[in-house]
Amino acid sequence: MRLSAVLLRVADPERLAAFYADILDMTLHVQGRNRRLGYKGQDADLLLMPGGGGYKHDGGQRYWKIGITLPDVDLAAAYLRRKGVDVSTPKQFLDIGYMCHLKDPAGFVIELLQHDFQGNRPENAADPAAPFAGACIGQITLRTGDIAAEDAFWRAQGMRLLSVQDVAQYGFDLHFYAFTDEKPPNADLWSVENREWLWKRPYTTLEFQHLAGAQFAPAPDYRGLEIQGLTGSLRDAFGDPLRPG
């Protein structure tokens, strides 16, 4: 089993695909009216489908963002600014990771998350001319008010919980699941030690931003997930579609 794509409905898949291919250095594959984009390796792709438009990033909705993990966030942010992309200033967010954020032309949020915490990045971690070499779609982030239901569902599909991260001062915690046999270096899943290890995984994790008891609305332009190895279509614990890859 492999988390193989996140499905987003957009007004103009071809135009938006050009942003991901030309700016974020993803490889483009045309699939009829859809556009599939991604990096080489085990991580998930981005599948852009026609029929959407007018997306607004809304904290009350189920879908939140994708995260791209890569060796040097500072280089990537500087590169994006030279391309005319508005990107936030990279910073260490608590004991979670060193990151920055941007939006694609349709308004979907993208997080850039460094493999290493601030101050831990090796020298010459990335080529300034190719800052997205070694990048992958590391996270697909959904929001939930019922982590017990999410946990039961995704464990039943074969996913493993790899990390739990406390962000209490912002009112939520984070839970990361993946189709993998790997175990984190520290058996305590709340351990900070596991986080830089997690950001270096070559596959995509499903991240839940958990706000206990909160109610979220469906995001109309989020059309669910594609899972390689799934034998038939399903609905997840929230009711969003899952389809075979």
Q: Cα separation of 20 and 214, whole Å?
A: 32
How many CB atoms sit inside 10 A of residue 26's CB?
A: 22
For CA atoms 181, 182, 187, 190, the dihedral sign is negative
Whose structure tokens read 């010459």?
Answer: 124
Question: Would you state the structure tokens that stand for residue 77, as one six-digit string?
Answer: 């942010």
100-149: pLDDT as tens digits: 999 999 999 999 999 999 999 999 999 999 999 999 999 999 999 999 99
From residue 242, how far is each of 3, 84, 171, 191 by CA, in Å? 10, 35, 29, 31
Answer whether 0.85 is exceeded by the pTM. yes
C-alpha–C-alpha distance, residues 13 and 23, integer Å = 15
Q: What is the pLDDT of residues 15-65, one digit of tens each?
A: 999 999 999 999 999 999 999 999 999 999 999 999 998 899 999 999 999
Task: Domains for the chain: give ranges and CATH numbers.
Answer: 2-244 (3.10.180.10)
For residue 244 the two structure tokens come to 């075979």
Of 79, 99, 80, the C-alpha closest to 89 is: 99
Amino acid making up residue 98? Y
